[in-house]
Amino acid sequence: MAGPAGLTDLETSCATDLRDAVGDWTAWLGQQRRVSPHTLEAYRRDLSGFLGFLTGHLGRRPSLDDLADLRPADFRAWLSARARAGLGRRSQARALSVLRGFFRWLQRGGLVENPAIGSLRAPRPAASLPRALTRDEAARALDTVAELSAEDWVGKRDLAVLMLLYGCGLRIGEALSLTAAQAPQPGQEALTVLGKGRKERVLPLLPAVIEAVQAYVAACPFALHAAGPLFLGKRGGALGPRRIQEKFRELRLLLGLPEDATPHALRHSFATHLLSAGGDLRAIQELLGHASLSTTQRYTAVDSARLLGVYDTAHPRARG
């Protein structure tokens, strides 16, 4: 059986029985699991790298029997080789996940059973810090949307969504799940939202947020029904997140914002800017709807400049 198209490295890095199994596995991923071509190619690269390592490690092209005989030390040697090559923890964890999936498939098919791979722990990815916009970047982004939306109901809608993300710290899904009956009204002081785990939280409302939402409601050409979605698309259906993401891509190009600036960055900015102004970490945890304080504590690393400033000002030994 010839190897699948595009698997030249796999065809030359393993024995015939293993090559055939790999071909069947990739076909199963594409046809049964409906894995996207991009993801399938990534899986192929990771498996090809592992089998190429085994060729050098064992001194021969590996077969199914060789996979069955591998010990934990062999798998750890592969991970060590990847680390020496400069591959990061996330790449390591992904490759190990792919390999575990392949071995599970082999076991279900009665081809290989090797419990050794189950003894490995995936390298824990380094905690990534939230990407927050600076105050100036956030202000310019919102001001630009406001200027461009002066005569456009769609622009007013986009501004209202972004104001909820930055002014209330909502997740984009939380903002888009609001019903028309939940539209903030003039004089309203708080907004109740349903977050992850169907947990409710109450958020203070800024007048600017209310004003943006009311401007959209007044300009929307479609009837808004109390139990229906607050934010509608151009054809009157519920608005999806892609449109808001596209709006932010436009802003990135227009304002020269960083590539990793996304709508979700406004939520991060909400938390970071509150913290830099002296906000209490536990209060910010409640506003964000984080189940664990450790999640919110990531923002202390983002705002390290403020914390150092507090240290320099307040600590007795920091004074000259």
Q: To the nearest whole number, what is the mean pLDDT of the chain?
A: 83
Q: Among 91, 119, 147, give the residue marking a domain's end.
A: 119
In a domain, 154, yes or no: yes
In the chain, what are the helix, strand and coil shares in percent, each to the nearest 5? 65, 5, 35
Residues 17 and 87 in one domain: yes
Distances (CA, A) of 158 to 4, 52, 110, 133, 257: 46, 50, 54, 18, 18
Q: Among 119, 147, 174, give the residue marking a domain's end.
A: 119
Alpha-carbon distance of 40 to 98, in angstroms, equals: 10
Alpha-carbon distance of 11 to 256, in angstroms, equals: 46
Which of these, 320, 268, 109, lies nearest to 101 by C-alpha position?
A: 109
Is 264 catalytic? The answer is yes
Q: Tokens 């200027």 sit at which residue?
A: 147
In a domain, 100, yes or no: yes
Q: Is the pLDDT of residue 314 over 70?
A: no
In the DSSP assignment, the letter for residue 240 is: P
Is 33 catalytic? The answer is no
From the candidates 140, 290, 298, 306, which is the catalytic residue? 290
Residues 112 and 167 in one domain: no
Residues 52 and 161 in one domain: no
E strands present in 89-241: 190-194, 200-204
Is 315 catalytic? The answer is no
Residues 109 and 189 in one domain: no
Residues 159 and 255 in one domain: yes
Residues 15 and 113 in one domain: yes
- The CATH number that applies at residue 174 is 1.10.443.10
pTM listed for this prediction:
0.56
Range of weakest confidence among 19-33, 44-58, 264-278, 279-293: 279-293
Residues 147 and 254 in one domain: yes
Is 166 catalytic? The answer is no
Q: Is the pLDDT of residue 46 over 50?
A: yes
In a domain, 190, yes or no: yes
Q: Residue 255 has which token pair?
A: 């304002």
pLDDT given at position 307: 47
Residues 146 and 202 in one domain: yes
- The CATH number that applies at residue 28 is 1.10.150
Alpha-carbon distance of 112 to 128, in angstroms, equals: 37
Which of these, 288, 187, 178, lies nearest to 229 by C-alpha position?
A: 178
Which of these, 74, 75, 271, 261, lies nearest to 170 by C-alpha position?
A: 271
Residues 143 and 82 in one domain: no
Greatest mean pLDDT among 74-88, 94-108, 267-281, 293-307: 94-108
From the candidates 44, 156, 267, 268, which is the catalytic residue? 267
From the candidates 60, 71, 196, 282, which is the catalytic residue? 196
In a domain, 269, yes or no: no
**Percent of the chain whose predicted confidence (pLDDT) is above 90:** 42
Distances (CA, A) of 135 to 18, 161, 176, 267, 271: 56, 18, 24, 13, 12
In a domain, 247, yes or no: yes
In a domain, 86, yes or no: yes
Q: Among 119, 146, 180, give the residue marking a domain's end.
A: 119
Residues 190 and 73 in one domain: no
From the candidates 44, 157, 171, 247, which is the catalytic residue? 171
From the candidates 100, 264, 298, 306, which is the catalytic residue? 264
Please state the domain count of the chain.
2
Confidence band for 262, pLDDT divided at 50, 70 and 90? confident
In a domain, 67, yes or no: yes
Confidence band for 287, pLDDT divided at 50, 70 and 90? confident
> To the nearest 10°, the Cα dihedral for 298, 304, 306, 309?
150
Confidence band for 35, pLDDT divided at 50, 70 and 90? confident
More confident residue, 207 or 10: 207
In a domain, 32, yes or no: yes
Is 267 catalytic? The answer is yes
Distances (CA, A) of 85 to 92, 202, 214, 274: 11, 49, 55, 41
Residues 24 and 91 in one domain: yes
Residues 88 and 149 in one domain: no
Is 273 catalytic? The answer is no
Q: Is the pLDDT of residue 56 over 80?
A: yes
Q: Which domain holds residue 255?
A: 135-263
